[in-house]
Amino acid sequence: MKDKYDVIVVGAGPGGSIAAKTCAEGGLDVLLIEKRQEIGDPVRCAEGVSKDGLIRHIQPDKRWISKEVKGSKIIAPDGTEIRMSEGASSQKAGYTLERKVFDRALAQQAAMAGAEVMVKTRATGLLHSNGAVCGIKAMYMGENHDIKANIVIGADGVESKVGRWGGIDTTMKPVDIETGAQFLVSNIDAGEYSKFYMGGEYAPGGYLWLFPKGEHTANVGLGILGSKSEKGMALSLLQKFMKNHMPDARILEMVVGGVPVSGPIKQTATNGLLLVGDAARQSDPVTGGGIINAMDAGKIAGEVCIKACKAGDYSMNTLQEYEDRWRDTFGKSLSKSLKVKNMLLKFSDEQLNQLAHSLVGEDVSRMTLPAVLKILATKNPKMLWEMRSLF
C-alpha cells in the first residue's frame, strides 16, 4: 500500500472491479479495497444477467456461468404462464452466474491490468481538503491508515457509506428497497427458464424467482418492497413457499440482502468523488437487477477518471461527465422502470391476472419487453393509461 494513488475504489463488487480495471488500463495508479476477506462471498444475489449486457464487459467463461437459460416465464397469481424467449426479455434471458467465481474473476482482471488490490480493508471515512474529497481513512487488520487519492470511487454496494461521508444523501426509504431471501436448492427439476412469480401471496410489492443453476439446482428467492415488509417477512414467506411448492427441495445455501429500487437519485458525484452501482442506487426498480448497471457505471466512472487525471482537475468540472453519461444511457431505463414499478404496485392480484389473460393467444415469445408492454397497454387501456408515455 502506498500513501497516495490517482484513484481509490472502495468495494470489489462488479462495479468497483470494472472501475478499477478501466482506470488501470488507462495508465492510472489505482487501489481497489474490499472489506471482506473473500471477494464475492457471501453472495447477495440471484445471479441472473442478460447476455448482451454481460458481453459488453467480459467474455462469458464456463468457470463462472452456472447455466444458460432459454428465456423467462412470468407466472400470474392464478398460475397463468407467459413465456418470453431468449432475446425477447433481454433484461432477464441469459445466464445464471456463479458470482463467487465471477466477482473474483473481475477483480483478477483489475489486478492483471495493474490495479493494487487489498482485501479485509474497510473504508471508515473520507479525507477532505478545500471542499473536495482527497482520499480515504481505512482499516486493515485493525490498523488505521490515511490513504490519499485524487478521486475516490464509492462502489460499496447497498450498505454504502461513502456517499454519505461525501455529503451525498443516499439513504433509502423503505419504499426504495427490496428486501430479499433466497435458497440455493437441490433435488428439484430446475427447467430451462427463469421463472418470475407475481402476486401478494408470494412477495408483496415484489416477486418470487426461480433461476436455474443446473439440471437439479436453482436459486429460489423473493424480494418484498421494504414498505410492505414486516420483521423477518422475506425469509418466512420463502419458507412457506418451499413447504407448499417444493417440499422435496434440499437447501444448500441461504442468501439474504437488500437491493435499491429507488430509481435515479439526485446526485452521484461531488468534487473528488464518484458513486457507482448499488452505492449510487443504480439497480433496476422493477427487476432488482444491478450487476450490469454497476459494470456500465464502473466503466463510465473509470473513463471519466482517466480524463480528469489527464486534465489534473478532479472537481465537478470534469466529473460532471460521469453524471451526464450514466443518466443519458441506462439512467433512462431506470426512470422508465420506476414508473412501471409504481404502476405495478397499484394493481391487485386480480388485475395482474387480467393483464396475464390479455396476453393469452398472443405470441409474445419473440417480442422485446417494450413490445409486450405495448400490447398490454393497448388491450388494457384503462389500467395502463399511465404507461402510454413510456414508449
Ligand X SMILES: Cc1cc2nc3c(=O)[nH]c(=O)nc-3n(C[C@H](O)[C@H](O)[C@H](O)COP(=O)(O)OP(=O)(O)OC[C@H]3O[C@@H](n4cnc5c(N)ncnc54)[C@H](O)[C@@H]3O)c2cc1C
**Residues that bind another protein in the complex, under the rule CB under 8 A:** 35, 42, 44, 122, 157-161, 164, 170-174, 176-177, 179-181, 226, 229-236, 254-258, 260
11 binds, among another protein, ligand X, none (CB under 5 to 8 A by kind): ligand X
Kindly report the backbone phi and psi dihedral angles of residue 305, in degrees, each rounded to the nearest multiple of 5, phi listed first: -60, -40
Positions 86 through 105 that interact with ligand X (CB under 6 A):
none
CB of residue 377 vs ligand X: minimum separation in angstroms?
Answer: 26
Residue 35, all three cell numbers = 472489506
Rounded Cα distance between 25 and 40, Å, is 22
Question: Does residue 155 touch ligand X according to CB under 6 A?
Answer: yes
Question: Does residue 122 touch ligand X according to CB under 6 A?
Answer: yes
Stretch that binds ligand X, among 28-36, 165-173, 342-350, 381-389 (CB under 6 A): 28-36
With contact defined as beta carbons under 8 Å apart, do 237 and 221 qualify?
no
CB of residue 42 vs ligand X: minimum separation in angstroms?
Answer: 10
CB of residue 208 vs ligand X: minimum separation in angstroms?
Answer: 11
21 binds, among another protein, ligand X, none (CB under 5 to 8 A by kind): none
Decide: helix, strand or coil at residue 133.
Answer: strand
Residue with cell 490517482: 6
CB of residue 39 vs another protein: minimum separation in angstroms?
Answer: 15
What does 15-57 look like in DSSP terms, one character per residue? HHHHHHHHHHHTT--EEEE-SSSSTT-S--S--EEEHHHHHTT
Question: Does residue 291 touch ligand X according to CB under 6 A?
Answer: yes
Instruction: Select 16 or 263, whichever has its Cβ closest to ligand X.
Output: 16
Element holding 4 (H helix, E strand): strand 4-10
Where would I find the H helices in the chain? Answer: 14-25, 51-55, 99-112, 162-165, 233-245, 291-311, 316-328, 330-346, 349-357, 369-379
Burial of 154 (0-12, 13-18, 19+ CB in 10 A): buried
Stretch that binds ligand X, among 151-159, 199-207, 339-347, 359-367 (CB under 6 A): 151-159
Question: Does residue 294 touch ligand X according to CB under 6 A?
Answer: yes
Q: Which residues bind ligand X (CB under 6 A)?
A: 10-16, 33-36, 44-49, 122-123, 155-159, 161, 180, 182, 221, 255, 257-259, 277-279, 283, 288-292, 294
